[in-house]
Amino acid sequence: MKVSLGRKIYVIISTMFLILLCCVMIAPLLKVIAESFSTRQFIETNSVLFWPKGFNIEAYKKVFSDQNILRALRNSIFVTVFGTVINLTFTALLAYPLSRNEFLFKKSVLLMITITMIFTAPLIPTYLVVKNLGMDNSFLGVIIPTAISGFNFFVMRSFFVGLPSELIDAARIDGCSEMQILVRIVLPLSKAALATLGLFYGVGHWNALQWPLIFLRSPKIQTLQLRLYSILQEENTSSLDMGFINFSPETIKMTTIVVATIPILIIYPFLQKYFVQGATLGSVKE
């Protein structure tokens, strides 16, 4: 099939634009990484661009030897893993019945969920509810209030609606309960949706700052993003007790940012296949 000249020009221009856009997005990350490996004299003279100068890893040694950062890293991993499991469980339990036509109050519940996407809960009432439930200053305070996302719920529901109803009817005839149908049939067929929404939820928990800043006041339960926020607010990074002269407080800040970013960069390639499939959920109808 012959490609027209206009099509070729469009492809060339689009490719050049996307390459330029990628460079613009990657450049800040490269600068952060370069500064995290650079020595103090080059950082203070602002001579580091996209390549380390005076390469050294002392800042990484210092960060990984700091118990507060290691504790915050463990807390973030726990909140991300446990929170994502809670998110996917609650979202699936809500999405499945609302994807079936026999659910009596489906329209009313869907309307209420839609309202939560338009009007968010005020901060003070949310804090009072969390406090009265005994979840203040605990991991549950940052997990339970965000257990279900309205957008992610509708994505999962649209996937469940697309499943063959004959398959579910056959399972009912065989004597399966609704919970057995969900666990043994619906969820195994929804790996793409679960992986995609799991990535959305996981990234949200890992990067969360607002709720941890409000509910996690004890240093022992601070997350990595909250610890990073504290470091960025400190001018001299005195809490790290720097004893080396070949890296600056700015290097410590950049190093902590890199450490906070690496886990997501490692996980994403393993979920990319499911993410591409899940990104087109509901876009094609047979």
Q: What is the pLDDT of residues 144-197, one digit of tens each?
A: 888 888 888 998 888 888 888 888 888 888 888 888 888 888 888 888 888 888
| Residue at 85 is within a domain | yes
Give the number of other Cβ atoms within 10 Å of residue 195's Cβ.
19
Q: Is residue 25 part of a domain?
A: no
Q: Is residue 255 part of a domain?
A: yes
Total domains, the chain = 1
**Is residue 268 included in any domain, yes or no?**
yes
- HSE-CB at 53 with a 13 A cutoff on CA atoms is 12
Give pLDDT, residue 86: 94
Domain that holds residue 251: 61-278
Phi-psi region of 176 (alpha: psi -120 to 50; beta: other; left: phi over 0): beta
Ramachandran area for residue 237 (φ above 0: left; ψ -120 to 50: alpha; else beta): left
Residues of the chain with confidence (pLDDT) below 70: 1, 3, 232, 234-248, 271-286
CATH number at residue 105: 1.10.3720.10
pLDDT at res. 1: 59
In a domain, 54, yes or no: no
CA gap 202, 234 in Å, rounded: 28
Contacts of 4 (CB under 8 A, 6+ apart): none
For position 229, what pLDDT does the model report?
Answer: 79
What is the value of pTM for the model shown?
Answer: 0.77
Residue 214 to residues 124, 127, 149, Cα–Cα distance (Å) = 11, 8, 20
Q: What was the pLDDT predicted at 184?
A: 87
Containing H/E element for 145? none
Would you say residue 244 lies in a domain?
A: yes
Q: Is residue 135 part of a domain?
A: yes
The pLDDT value recorded for residue 275 is 62
Q: Is residue 221 part of a domain?
A: yes
Token readout for 85 is 């499991």
